[in-house]
Structure 1
Amino acid sequence: MSEADDFMKFVEKYMAEVPGGPAGDQEMRRRDPSPFVDTTAADIRPDKLTDEQIQSWFDYMSWNLWELIATRSTEGESGLIPRQEYETLSFVQQWSVNPDAMRLITDKVGVDGLVELGRVPRREIGTKVNHIRNYASALMAMLGRGVCVSLEQLDPSVRRDDIQDCIQFARRTWHGTWGDGPGLASGHGFRLPLLEDDVLAPLLAAAKPFEDDEERKFFRRFNGTTELFGFLMHYDTRLGMGDTGPYPLPGGGFALIRDHFLYETGFEWSSIGEGLPYAVTEVLCFKPDPIEITINDIGTTFTKPQDYLKSLDRVAVFARDTIDTPMSGIRPVGHDEMRRIVDTCQAGVLKMYKILANLSRDEKIRNGVRMYSHEFMRPLAYRAGAWDEILANGFDDLSEATERAWPILTGGRAAEILAPVFLMGKGFPPLRNPAAI
């Protein structure tokens, strides 16, 4: 059997054994009936974890990451941005800086404050203090640990305190989002119906049917254009978007609530979004057609049939003008403003391509490392009032580990390292010999 055939076994099933989807979640729970990705009000409070708890978290998250990568299409490369290189290096950077940032945030707000941060996606739209950051803040750092071990630059038994602090930081936010029980969408049948009823109801009430086919076509253009703009603004990733739902509708059908982040002001290239709201939120209500739907932990929706927008029945669009706009300031967006947003996004995409074309490969990688590192920590830290202090502590300074990994991961080995980290469990090397656990 060829190496390619052998590798495909790991693409088709986790560790060539466990399937994706709800069946995979069930199998992982059969193997570990109480995985530490589930939370209780009691077990989120201790700062110290056992080796068994850490390994339980590693085991389930390793399958969950495999499920995300192997059985779901996420995003491809534009050709202009070396995304595998910057993502891999950003993992290493986040392993270097996230634990201290998490401890600083925890010192500021306490365990209960982290739980409240986790509640934000239940009460707000158009915010990056959301399920995606809750899901990935610790995951990114752990992947950096896995990359460093894969590069033989780290002993997996060291920095145990950093590991447990990252895990508990994430679990506390998960508990705010979900309460007792599974802390991930994969443990909830790949559903993210996060918004509480009193927040959701006025959004659904604002949704109106299309007047004609032209209006329907224009909305699809608005959806596609703002998605592309956010994708490129965030350096070829889905960090500029995210869905929650599905939310059942009276009489059948379902709704999705979709955020597109447009004017993220934290980067030099942010000028491409000038004149746009910080975020637009689409309220998408669908007819009771036979549609199978799943939403993964990064808020990406998958359906059968794929063109589910054909069943779109009525919509509404809201705007959050700045990152600091409160929920009370969220406002509806009318048709004329939607057209202006489309025009600005189209022009912004062209500006971004020109910016990228004038950057060196190393400059794009450095920008990507900073963007990716910011995106998984800044929203939570900013809301907690800790971001300026975290930056002042050197969050953006490339760590010694990142500098050591740079020539290797930019020199052609990023893809070689990423595949086993994502698909073969190498992202979560155990603290000690698995036979002893």
Structure 2
Amino acid sequence: MTTAPSKQATYKQRYEQDDDGLRFQELTYTGNFVGMEPVTDGILGDKMMKSRAKSGVLEKVAKDDVLRDQFTIDELNDLNNYLAWNIWDVLVMRATEGVSGMIPRQEYEILAFMHEFYRWPEILRMTTDEVGGGQGIMDIGATARREIGTKVNAVHDWAIGAVGFGMGRCGLLALEAIGPDDYVEESNEILKFMQRILWGKRQDGYLLNSQDRYRCRIHEADFLDGIVAQVEPFEPNSPQHQKFTRFNAAAELLSFLDHYDCRLGLGDTGPYELPDGRLLILRDLFVNEEVFHWSDVCDDEKLPHCYTLALVVDPQLMGLQEIRVNDISTTFTRPKNYIESIVGGVVFAREKWNTPMGEVYPIKIDDLEEHLTRVQNATLKLYAKTARMCRRDLIWNGQYVYYVDMILPHLRLAGTYEKACQDYDFWEIDQRVANYYYDITKRGFAQETVPSKIFSGAGYLPFSDNADPRRSKYRWL
């Protein structure tokens, strides 16, 4: 490249042990630490949360710890507190994304949160039993190390605990449908499944990207080599650069829309440092999820399940100061705009969720125009289809995106998806949640109460010291 760097890149300093990282936002977090120093975002926030833990569950954990069937109450509370902070850390920077002019996101999200907390535990327990225990779940996580176009990724794995347990329990506590010491056993089931998937995927002892200075470097070196070898270099703002970034934007838009305006359709991993000093980000864009009936418009355009983009970023060109691949699979940088510093890329297509890696094929940048047209056509059709839906259909469809899709990839690989549907009525709506449909709009519950509890951390009440790890709810009074 002939373009001179604008300023010196300093991002590597973020990986030094004593470095506290940059502040990406001015807000601070309190949660369950009332009367203590507020917690910041980023690397410093992670350090502060770890220092306040009563157990070692937030440090690097050993395989034997992950295979244990139960967390202690201290471990459950430490995970509860950390996930609450982590949710704040990733969501506050893009809080307005939760509001859509077409799809009632806040309404469908809170229904899905609560539905997950009620229904997932028995399905996850069944899945664990079907694969032979905790090691089988860890093996499912490990599959992501040699795959692209897989939904066993940061946002789905994080969502098991952060959304199904954290936000689900938070919503039900806010609704006063449960108490702080209810469903302890079920909470353990959800969090153990999350821990095992993430540990198996990362294999470095950490669970979340935020624990490793916002790195999600999960892929095996030789697997990455095969991808990097197919990258096409180009100059910033060149025709090749424009074709590549235009396709990225269009496919990302469709991946959002196919997943009802949420990030389950996108998955970043990285950053991987290349031998020449540049950085690689792998981005999965799931533009055709066959389990959703509205994806028929994507079928009409013969779109694959997923496009994977390998983006090569020049950190010197942008004067990179910090890069975060956060736990909702999204890349953030300082300076903010890294698109202009993309200096190479390649696009791959995976036709179905279970297409073997040997059949995943690259698409030349000069051949992207045809795919771009199909993506744009599917997007227009999906907007038209969505615009015709009534509010109730939009809410329940969105609820299914969260409730089904967040654990769908794990059930698929475990071979338990059909069993969950047939024996556990996976696609049915729990009667309690069906009734909540009429409650969530009262007194601003979905629009004000739940967001305030989630974003402030005030709703993630701890389990008491007297909580019994075996306890469910048992009674409705």
Q: TM-score range by the shorter chain?
A: over 0.9
Match of 2:113 among 88, 91, 101: 91
C-alpha displacement at 1:362, in angstroms?
Answer: 0.8
* Residues 243 and 368 in structure 2, CA contact (< 8 A), matched pair in contact too: no
Matches within 5 A, 1:203-218: 203-210=227-234, 213-218=238-243
Gap regions ≥5 residues in structure 2 = 1-24, 32-36, 469-477
Which moved further from structure 2: 228-237 or 153-162? 153-162
Structure 1 residue identity aligned to 2:109: E
What SS does structure 2 have at the residue aligned with 1:244?
Answer: strand
Post-superposition Cα deviations, 1:93-114, rounded to whole Å, max 9, x if no partner, equal: 1011110110111011121111
Aligned-residue Cα RMSD (Å) equals 2.3
Structure 1 gap ranges (5+): 1-8
2:149 is matched with which residue: 126, 139, 142? 126
Deviations 1:135-184 (A, max 9, x none): 11122222212211111111221222101111111111121022353211
SS in structure 1 at match of 2:345? strand
C-alpha contact 1:75 1:238 (8 A) present in aligned 2: no
- Cα distance in 2, alignment partners of residues 245 and 229 from structure 1: 22
Q: Name 1:21's counterpart in structure 2.
A: 42
Q: Which has the higher helix share?
A: 1
Residue matched to 2:163? 140
* Pairing 1:283–2:292 present: no
Which residue of the partner structure matches residue 407 of structure 1?
438
Q: Find out whether 1:293 has 2:317 as its counterpart.
A: no
Equivalent residue, structure 2, for 1:390: 420
C-alpha spacing 1:380/1:328, structure 2 compared with 1 (3 Å): same
* Cα displacement (A) at 1:33: 6.8
Residue in 2 aligned with 1:6?
none
**CA deviations over 1:321-340 (Å, ceiling 9, x no partner):** 11120112111112464212
Residues 117-266 of structure 1 aligned to structure 2 (within 5 Å): 117-142=140-165, 143-210=167-234, 213-266=238-291
Secondary structure of 1:221's partner?
helix
Q: CA deviation at 1:35?
A: 4.3
What secondary structure, in the 3-state scheme, does the structure 1 residue paired with 2:290 have? Answer: coil
Contact 1:90 1:370 in 2 (8 A): yes
DSSP-derived class of the 1:323 partner: coil
1:75 and 1:25 map into 2 onto residues whose CA distance is: 24
Distance 1:10 1:170 in 2: 30
Moved more, 26-35 or 46-55: 26-35
Deviates more, 1:33-42 or 1:365-374: 33-42
Match of 1:3 in 2: none
Contact 1:41 1:180 in 2 (8 A): no
Tell me which residue corresponds to 1:429. 461
Preserved CA contact (<8 Å) 1:89 1:369: yes
| Counterpart residue number, 1:329 | 359
| Aligned positions, number | 429
TM-score by length of 1: 0.93
Answer whether contact 2:287 2:306 (CA < 8 A) is retained: yes
Distance 1:434 1:19 in 2: 31
Distance in 1, matches of 2:266 and 2:386, equals 21
Normalising by structure 2, report the TM-score.
Answer: 0.85
Q: CA deviation at 1:281?
A: 0.7
| Structure 1 residue 30 corresponds to structure 2 residue 51 | yes
Deviates more, 1:415-424 or 1:139-148: 415-424
State the Cα distance separating 1:34 from its structure 2 match. 4.5
Query: Does residue 307 in structure 1 map to residue 337 in structure 2?
Result: yes
Question: 1:408 aligns to what SS in structure 2?
Answer: coil
Percent same amino acid among aligned pairs? 34
